C-alpha cells in the first residue's frame, strides 16, 4: 500500500492556479524528492499533504485515509506526519530536551519519563545526545535543524515531509543535516522531500519529481530525471541549478 497517494490535486488562491492537477504516489519506505523552480508550487503541494492548505479539488490519501474527506479527523492524520521546514521553529525559551518532549506529552499523552527516554534516543540518533540541556540559541543552525528532525521523529511518524530543510543553512552545516536524512532513508522511513540538493536527490531518492508552473513535468528514478532528463524544461532547470555561474 502506498503511504501517500495524490490524485488530480488542484489548489488555487483566488484567480491564481498554483497546483493544476497533480498525481503521484509515495510507496512505503520510499524517498521521493520534489524539485523545481521557485514558485512552481512545491511548498503548496507539501502543505496540502499536511492540511496546512485545503486543496481546491482532488484527493490526498495518507496510509489509505482520505485527508480530503470533509469528515476526516485532521489531528489524527497530522499525528502520523513529521514535518521539517526551512525555518526550524524551535521554542527558544525551552531546552532542546523540552522541545522534543513537549508534543509527545501534550499530543500523544506520553508520561514525562517515557517522553524523556524517547527524546534522548532521537537526539542520540541525530548526533545531539550531549546537547539536551542547551537552549536553541546555543546551537548552530544545522544543529537546530537536527533538533527539529529529532522532535518530529519522537512522534513516531509514518511519513516525514521536508521542505527545503537545508536551504537556510550555511554551506558547511548542510552536510550534517543531509547525513541524518540519509540515515533515516536507510532505516526505511517514508520521506517526501522538497530540495535543491541534487547530490542528495541523486544518491538517496527512489524517485525524483520535477514540477514547473503547478504541474509535474517529469517523474522517475534520479538516474533518469537528473542524469538524463527527457524534457527541455527539466534540462534547463537542472542546468541552472547545477551550473549557476553560466
Ligand atoms: N497563501 C497564499 N496566497 C496566495 N498565493 C500563494 C499562497 N501561497 C503560495 N502562493 C503562490 O503560489 C505559488 C507557488 O508558491 P509555493 O510556495 O508553493 O512555491 P515553491 O515552489 O515552494 O517556491 P520556492 O522554491 O520559492 O519555495 C506562488 O506564486 C505563490 O506566490
Ligand atoms: Mg517553497
What pLDDT does 51 receive? 87
Asked if residues 123 and 133 have their Cβ atoms less than 8 Å apart, the reply is no
Residue 164 CA: nearest ligand 1 atom is 27
What pLDDT does 79 receive? 86
Q: How far apart are CA 235 and CA 126, in angstroms?
A: 35
Residue pLDDT tens, the chain, 246 long = 568 999 999 999 999 999 999 999 999 999 999 999 999 999 999 999 988 999 999 999 998 899 889 899 988 888 889 999 998 899 999 999 999 999 999 999 999 999 999 999 999 999 999 999 999 999 999 999 999 999 999 999 999 999 999 999 998 899 999 999 999 999 999 999 999 999 999 999 999 999 999 999 999 999 999 999 999 999 999 999 888 776
- Decide: 195 in ligand 1 pocket, CB within 6 A: no
CA-nearest residue, atom 26 of ligand 1: 38
Q: What ligand has the least distance to the C-alpha of 16? A: 1
Q: How much is the pTM?
A: 0.95
Following DSSP, what letter does each residue of 111-172 receive, concatenated? -HHHHHHHHHHHHHHTT-GGGTTS-GGGS-HHHHHHHHHHHHHTT--SEEEEESTTTTS-HH
Q: How close is the Cα of 130 to the center of ligand 2, in Å?
A: 32
Substitution site in 18, 193, 240 for ligand 1 pocket (most atoms within 8 Å of beta carbon): 18
Q: How far apart are CA 142 and CA 151, in angstroms?
A: 14
- Decide: 44 in ligand 1 pocket, CB within 6 A: yes
What pLDDT does 78 receive? 85
Q: How far apart are CA 47 and CA 41, in angstroms?
A: 10
CA nearest to 121, candidates 143, 150, 149:
150
Asked if residues 154 and 122 have their Cβ atoms less than 8 Å apart, the reply is yes
Asked if residues 214 and 18 have their Cβ atoms less than 8 Å apart, the reply is yes
Q: How far apart are CA 109 and CA 159, in angstroms?
A: 20
Q: How far apart are CA 241 and CA 246, in angstroms?
A: 10
Substitution site in 44, 49, 163, 194 for ligand 1 pocket (most atoms within 8 Å of beta carbon): 44
Residue 44 CA: nearest ligand 1 atom is 18
Q: Whose grid coordinates read 537546530?
A: 144
- All three cell numbers of 194: 522538497
Residue 36 CA: nearest ligand 1 atom is 21
Amino acid at each position: 500500500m502506498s503511504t501517500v497517494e495524490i490524485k488530480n490535486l488542484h489548489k488555487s488562491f483566488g484567480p491564481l492556479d498554483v497546483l493544476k492537477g497533480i498525481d503521484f504516489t509515495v510507496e512505503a519506505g520510499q524517498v521521493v524528492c520534489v524539485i523545481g523552480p521557485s514558485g512552481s508550487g512545491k511548498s503548496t503541494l507539501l502543505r496540502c499533504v499536511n492540511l496546512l492548505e485545503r486543496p481546491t479539488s482532488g484527493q490526498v490519501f495518507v496510509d489509505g485515509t482520505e485527508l480530503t474527506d470533509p469528515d476526516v479527523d485532521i489531528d489524527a492524520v497530522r499525528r502520523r506526519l513529521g514535518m521539517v521546514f526551512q525555518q526550524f521553529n524551535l521554542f527558544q525559551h525551552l531546552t532542546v530536551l523540552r522541545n522534543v518532549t513537549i508534543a509527545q506529552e501534550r499530543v500523544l499523552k506520553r508520561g514525562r519519563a517515557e517522553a524523556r527516554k524517547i527524546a534522548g534516543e532521537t537526539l542520540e540518533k541525530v548526533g545531539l545526545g550531549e546537547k539536551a540541556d542547551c537552549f536553541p540559541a546555543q546551537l548552530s543552525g544545522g544543529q537546530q535543524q537536527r533538533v527539529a528532525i529529532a522532535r518530529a521523529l519522537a512522534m513516531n511518524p509514518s511519513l516525514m515531509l521536508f521542505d527545503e530543510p537545508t536551504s537556510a543553512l550555511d554551506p558547511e552545516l548542510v552536510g550534517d543535516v543531509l547525513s541524518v536524512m540519509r540515515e533515516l532513508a536507510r532505516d526505511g522511513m517514508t520521506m517526501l522531500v522538497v530540495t535543491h540538493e541534487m547530490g542528495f536527490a541523486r544518491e538517496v531518492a527512489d524517485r525524483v519529481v520535477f514540477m514547473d508552473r503547478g504541474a509535474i513535468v517529469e517523474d522517475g528514478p534520479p538516474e533518469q530525471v537528473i542524469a538524463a532528463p527527457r524534457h527541455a524544461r527539466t534540462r534547463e532547470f537542472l542546468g541552472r541549478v547545477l551550473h549557476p555561474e553560466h
